[in-house]
Amino acid sequence: MTTGSRKDTTQLGQYPAHLETTQNGNDEILERSYGETRRSPVQIRAAPPNPKILNVLVSLEANNKSKSVIRNTRKYLTSLSKEANLENPEEVKEAIKNRKVSDGMKRILCYAYQRYADYYQIQWKKPKYVAKSREVKIPTKQKIEKIIASAHAPLNLKLQISYEDGLRPIELYTLRPKDIDFEQRKLYPETAKNGSPRFLPISIQLKGMLETYIQQHNIKPDEHLFKGNQTQYSQSFRELRNRLAKRLNDPSYKNIKLYDLRHYFGTTMYAELGNLRIVQKLMGHKHITTTEIYEHLTLMETDPKFITRATQTTQEDDQAIAEGFEYITERNQIKMWRKRKF
């Protein structure tokens, strides 16, 4: 092990308050492990991490890392520091290895420690853990709509946006009124994960819900629509979903995850358009390989009597007409056509 000579020059009192503590006195401490969330039996105020971890967090913020990256780095480094000396990478490796969590979670822990090692110039060979791919099961439209119908404001509005436009949870919390063109009924989210910029259509129903919500809460154009973060959004969704499963005596609802609403959007778009490149644009994916999952997901049965096609250019329109396709509708500047099979 070789440790660099970077010094701790910042005192605890000099750190921004939002980096010193992430929980308020009324928040319940949530502990996430292996894809599950457990609620602490007591409500406590989170203690600030040690100054060496705070140095790393300040550096991440200075490099414009997202709040979720900073928050998770803090959480995982603080957790590791209770099991190993962060100055000893071999000890950290052993602690990660012995964690009773998935390889995917171990991989995340390694990335968190890598940020610490990079900051303090600690040499270590990051172990390789490969996350197992999870089969994605798309919930039915009926079940999603039942979940949304059982939610109160503003959760019902958040879920309607996730359902209609497939936003990532983190994208939902960056939305501002200025990102919405109410006249054209279009949404311009701030695309996460270095994805491609995009705009998405909103229904008349969603337009009305957004207008009412913004007016009732007097939200300014530059202010975020929603308070909180994606972790709290996921927790609220799980609680709602579980209550509904109990009320309907239908445990299958408990298998529905918040991110499945995004998968539902991607799947329906591919089923409707049949064009991966267009779906890639709608999803905000940087790489087409990420979008390919929607080729393998089946949600709805397409009408066996028709062949469908999506077009974006005048040349593609002319070709569709020449081949006998009938124009159906246009969505998000994408024209949809069909022709009867012979």
Cα–Cα distance between 90 and 111 in angstroms, integer?
Answer: 15
What CA–CA distance (Å, rounded) separates 140 from 256?
Answer: 10
pLDDT band, residue 1 (cuts 50/70/90): very low
Which residue bears the tokens 């602490």? 40
Please tell me the distance from the alpha carbon of residue 188 to that of residue 199, in angstroms, as a whole number: 5
Please give the pLDDT value at position 174: 93
Contact 226, 158 (CB under 8 A): yes
* CATH topology assigned to domain 141-260: hpI Integrase; Chain A (1.10.443)
pLDDT at 226: 96
* Residue 155 near residue 236, CB atoms below 8 Å: yes
- The string of pLDDT tens digits covering residues 161-194 is 999 999 999 999 999 999 999 999 999 998 876 6
Instruction: Tell which phi-psi region holds residue 61, choosing left (phi > 0), alpha (psi between -120 and 50) or beta.
Output: alpha
Q: Where are the domains of the chain?
A: 12-119, 141-260, 301-342
- Output Rg (C-alpha) for the chain, integer angstroms: 23
d(CA 342, CA 330): 25
C-alpha to C-alpha distance for 341 and 270, rounded to whole angstroms: 20
Note if the pTM is more than 0.75: no
Range 134-158 average pLDDT: 90
Confidence of residue 271 (pLDDT cuts 50, 70, 90): confident
Residue 333 tokens, joined: 């500047």
CA dist., res. 32 & res. 330, Å (int): 42
Question: Which tens digits make up the pLDDT trace of 44-59?
Answer: 334 556 889 999 999 9
Sign of the torsion angle spanned by Cα atoms 113, 116, 119, 124: negative
